[in-house]
Structure 1
Amino acid sequence: MSAEACDVVVIGGGPAGSTAAALLARRGYGVIALEKAHHPRFHIGESLLPMNLPLFERLGVLEKVRALGVFKRGADFEADNERGYNTFAFDRALGKSPPHAYQVWRQDFDRMLYAHARECGADTREGHEAIGIEQLGPRDSRLEVRTEEGRGYRIEARYVVDASGRDAFLAAKRRLRRKNAQHQSAAIFGHFRGADVRPGEDAGNISMYRFEHGWMWMIPLPDGVMSVGAVCWPDYLKQRRGRTLEFLLETLRRNPALWQRMRRAELIGNEVRVTGNYSYDSSSMGGPGWVLIGDAFAFIDPVFSSGVYLAMSGAEQAAQVVDAALREPAAETSLLRRLEKRQRAGMERFSFFIYRFNEPVMRDMFRHPRNALKLEQSVISMLAGDLFDTPRVLWRLQLFKLVYGILALRDWRRWRAGHRDRLAQARAQFTGGNTPLDKV
């Protein structure tokens, strides 16, 4: 069987894959972008970060995102005050991050990005799944592809960008994927009409609530829809035993403040989704002629809405690496090493907060924030996605970790109990998901 030839194959048509495909096609490379499904297809992860906006502008899609999204000026967390919550407003961030973000229907957002990659010159192919790969020489690869009609064909590429999400195509083939031993969780969620939004300028904010088995979100979406769900310990979600809607509603009732906003809400389409353990990474991000981006490389937890930003930011950086490696192969190893170091550093800064979000000490720090030495503002910068290149943010985040450590020592019994529970849940497994992501 003869093979097509191209410069770059991108596996996956989500935000990471579409970003890489668009940028590389714009630089003149022959890019084939494979997507095994068809757009629009459902995906969770509707809340974007302010630091997405400069990237959207560089990509050339900012106005399209504005047309799709609900304006978000900040993130709300429960608090012991008259309103019952604190708003971490993005315009108080320390760095140069934009003062707002957007929330989107992911099926519309992902379809727009994939179409943009096509407009930039990428050969986009929906219903085409990569099923095998063979290394040809030191860098080139041959991919086996199967269409939804069952036709098979081959592509020979100078570079492979794996943006296959939780399928983790290359990580699975190369046995790179690792379960996160520090953190595991599972989620149950649905979309509702009639839920109460925050008053005034807070109407578009994402709201975060805690309960004894995890945390909950409310995300305002276009057309008066509210995404509502809970990220739970795996052992808690195992109690569902086949129930979906009833279990979701029982869970939401565990937080009275959230449930008050749901008193007039109605589920859309009688559809509740459940997804299993999704905290993992890969032992390597790239090698000769290949690189992993987005969820194909790693995913932590959706608590701070970091997934889309980390995926697209990593894709933008990876596109630069691929471009440089194709022009100067001798530089590839050092470029990949630098890319991986940067991505892991950003993930680790998010992870510090994610791992401890439901532990007593961190819960108290979010309920009663203090801005001594602008530490609260540094946390807002983190929530905005500014955790790579702004020194005055980064050193304050380090100081925040020190303050957390001191408070944890002072309240060591509660800290130890929370830490022990988290590690116990990290060993748990939940395999009862009903989304396409749980079929891999």
Structure 2
Amino acid sequence: MNTHDTPTRVRSRDCDVLVIGGGPAGSTLATLLARRGRRVTMIEKMHHPRFHIGESLLPANVPLFDDLGVRAEVEAIGMPKWGVEFVSPDHDHRSYLEFGDALDKSQPYAWQVRRADLDEILFRNAAKAGAAALEGHRAREVRFDAEGADVDIDIDDGRRETWRARYVVDASGRDTLLAGQMRSKRRHPDHASSAVFGHFRGARRLEGRLEGNITIFWYPHGWFWFIPLADGTTSIGAVCWPYYLKSRTKPLRDFFMDTIAMCPQLAERLQGAELVDDQVHATGNYSYLGTHCTGERYAMLGDAFAFIDPVFSSGVYLAMQSAYAAVPLVEASLDKAPSSCTVERADFEKFMRAGPREFSWFIFRVTNPTMREFFMAPQNPLRMKEALLTVLAGDIYGSTPYRRPLQAFKTLYWLVSMAHPLRTWRAWSRRRDNIRDLEIAATP
């Protein structure tokens, strides 16, 4: 066989930790480990800046940016986001919630950002910290043994190499490299969502201080996001049940515009607006969980382990927090026999499930009429509104005492739901049937 057609695979690099993926999770971990003197190599299959959806950040991200030393850079590219606007087809008014009303008043805002810009800032910061940060490198297969792992790498100049690492971190996002290789990725049993999205110029935003706020619009098949960006464009996305996306019989752009027309309040904001580059993107059912996220020589971060839904903008925050949580596990695995790190692994597994679970309670109910009423008419008995905003701000890992008032909120939700049994039954039956429809469609 011609060697020019099949590049020779050679071993060319050894490191303590190989981080696969140069997004927020991978870049954060690479920075933290490099600061601790570890030999870290981070690879990204593409070249920064590269497009990525997920543009809305949470106030709880801000202390992480401070710790990484990139807050000023993020602020320079960001649109300040002080809260959330909710728009319902069943209400004549609009509801506004501000992060500054959460239990902890010290984190009142975040930003909306172009992910291409944010991810590049974090990637370059890892390189400044001492990590080897390489672009155009795609990991294809990981083979573990008692001492570490061999990782096959395809480089975009045509070379193919095998690298050696003592520990491997999968931060490949929705590529879910290790979960796919190990067949540990599972469709989420309790949720199913798809999305169609694009960027517009000339969308009508809120005024003044509220201009950068995210808006959530409900419509018959789910909800829309409306995310104003600092460059004047606005990210618009329709999140829907997968069956609705599968019903498409026309070009994606036309389908998207027809979907926007189902939400008159959004359509009004887009009058005269122009779709940037005439581009519309779609993603099928993206809700999934892994059966596990650690092994003796590896860990999975952020979306490489699980992703539920973007409604509360938790993706970047959970990814970065997973990197912080992984540091004790990775260092223990490097410093002592990995087989003895059962406590660290158990702690990390617990941490990785806690965040998605906290947000999921709201995600599963966001289209329910009772939850919609709560968002459209928020009240604060027993500090329930403050606890809700604490979760929406991402302040779920610190010492803020939100759990007792949050439990009161959940109890009230169940009481109101039981007081309207027919409405509640119809909402949950529709949800059940939508998920079942997907299961039927996936059956051979």
TM-score interval, normalised by the smaller of the two chains: over 0.9
Structure 2 unpaired stretches of 5+: 1-9, 440-444
Q: Does 1:66 align with 2:85?
A: no
| Residue type of the alignment partner of 1:231 | V
User: Which whole-Å CA distance do the structure 1 matches of 2:28 and 2:242 have between them?
Assistant: 33
Match of 1:337 in 2: 346
2:169 maps to which residue? 161
After superposition, the Cα gap between the structure-2 partners of 1:96 and 1:58, relative to the gap in structure 1 and judged at 3 Å, is: farther
Q: 2:277 is matched by which residue type in structure 1?
A: G
Q: Which residue of 2 is the match for residue 404 of structure 1?
A: 413
Task: Give the deviation of 1:395 after TM superposition.
Answer: 2.0
Residue in 1 that maps onto 2:263: 255
| Ranges of 4+ aligned residues in structure 1 off by more than 3 Å | 79-83, 328-331, 427-430
SS in 2 for 1:86: strand
Select which of 222, 247, 251 maps to 1:243.
Answer: 251
1:385 to 374, 394, 402: 394
Residue 146 of structure 1: how far off its partner (Å): 1.1
**Partner secondary structure for residue 277 of structure 1:** coil
- Seen in structure 2, the aligned counterparts of structure 1 residues 390 and 418 have a Cα distance that, compared at 3 Å, is farther
Give, as a single letter, the amino acid of the residue that structure 1 aligns with 2:234.
M
The alignment status of 1:33 with 2:42, answered yes or no, reads yes
Compared CA separation, residues 329 and 50, structure 1 to 2 (3 A): farther
Determine if contact 1:357/1:363 at 8 Å carries over to the other structure. Answer: yes
Distance apart, 1:84 and its partner CA: 2.8
Picking from 218, 228, 231, the partner of 2:236 is 228
For 1:334, what is the secondary structure of its paired residue?
helix
Q: Distance in 2 between matches of 1:240 and 1:43?
A: 24
| Letter matched to residue 184 of structure 1 | A
1:241, distance to aligned residue in structure 2 (A): 2.4
Deviations 1:90-116 (A, max 9, x none): 111102651100010011111111111
Query: Aligned partners of 2:31 and 2:399: how far apart in 1?
Result: 27
Alignment check: 8 A CA contact 1:181 1:423 kept: no
Name the CA distance, whole Å, in 1 between partners of 2:72 and 2:207.
26
CA distance in structure 1 between the aligned counterparts of 2:307 and 2:90, rounded to whole angstroms: 34
In structure 2, do the counterparts of structure 1 residues 208 and 20 end up closer, same or farther at CA, with 3 Å as the change threshold? Answer: same
Partner of residue 4, structure 1: 13
Q: Which amino acid in structure 1 is aligned with residue 335 of structure 2?
A: R
The whole-number CA distance in structure 1 between the counterparts of 2:105 and 2:337 is: 35
Q: Deviation string for 1:325-382 (max 9, x for gaps)?
A: 3224465221121122122122111000000100111111111111111111111111
For the aligned residue pairs, the C-alpha RMSD in angstroms reads 1.8
Q: Write the deviation string for residues 219-268 of structure 1: whole angstroms up to 9, x where unpaired.
A: 00012111111101111112222422222121112122221111121111
Question: Amino acid of the residue matched to residue 191 of structure 1?
Answer: H
1:302 match: 310
Cα deviation 1:376-418 (Å, max 9, x = unaligned): 1111111100122335212222221111111111112221221
Residues 203, 234 of structure 2: 8 Å contact kept: yes
Shift of 1:64: 0.8
CA distance in 2, matches of 1:153, 1:206: 44
Q: Percent identity?
A: 44
Among candidates 117, 123, 147, match of residue 108 of structure 1: 117
Gaps of 5+ in 1: 431-440
TM-score, normalised to structure 2's length?
0.93
Larger CA deviation: 80-89 vs 402-411: 80-89
* 1:289 to partner: Cα distance: 1.3
Q: Does 1:349 align with 2:358?
A: yes
What is the rounded CA distance, in whole Å, between the counterparts of 2:129 and 2:354 in structure 1? 31
Distance in structure 2 (CA, Å) of the matches to 1:96 and 1:332: 38
- The superposition leaves residues 38-88 of structure 1 with CA deviations (integer Å, 9 ceiling, x where unpaired) of 111111000000000000111111111001100111111126999832211
Separation of aligned partners in 2, 1:109 and 1:422: 35
Given the alignment, which residue of 33, 51, 54 partners 1:45? Answer: 54
Question: Are the equivalent residues in 1 in contact too, given 2:148–2:297 (CA < 8 A)?
Answer: yes
Residue type of the alignment partner of 2:394: G
Partners of 1:356 and 1:238 in 2: CA distance: 23
Q: Distance in 2 between matches of 1:194 and 1:391?
A: 40
TM-superposed CA distance for 1:163, in Å, is 0.3
**What is the distance in 2 between the residues matched to 1:80 and 1:247?**
20
Q: Which amino acid aligns with 1:359?
A: N
Q: Secondary structure of the equivalent of 2:276?
A: strand
Map of 2:102 onto structure 1: 93
Equivalent residue in structure 2 for 1:414, among 415, 419, 423: 423
Measured at CA, do residues 391 and 107 of structure 1 come closer, stay the same or move farther in structure 2, by a change above 3 Å? closer
Aligned to 1:211: 219
Cα distance in structure 2, aligned partners of 1:96 and 1:150? 52
* Structure-2 change in CA distance of 1:321 and 1:277 (3 Å): same
More displaced 10-residue stretch of structure 1: 403-412 or 416-425: 416-425
Q: Secondary structure at the match of 2:231?
A: helix
Counterpart for residue 179 of structure 1: 187
Cα distance, 1:80–1:372 mapped onto 2, change above 3 Å:
farther
Q: Deviations over 1:7-64 (max 9, x none)?
A: 0000011111111111111111111111111111111000000000000111111111
Tell me the distance in 1 between the aligned counterparts of 2:131 and 2:186: 32
Bigger mean CA offset, 78-87 vs 188-197: 78-87
Name the residue aligned to 2:382: 373
Tell me the distance in 1 between the aligned counterparts of 2:327 and 2:223: 35
2:18, 2:40 within 8 Å by CA — same for their partners in 1?
yes
Q: Secondary structure, in 3 states, of the residue corresponding to 2:25? A: helix
Question: How far apart, in 1, do the equivalents of 2:430 and 2:152 lie?
Answer: 44
Report the counterpart of residue 23 of structure 1 in structure 2.
32
Number of equivalent positions: 429
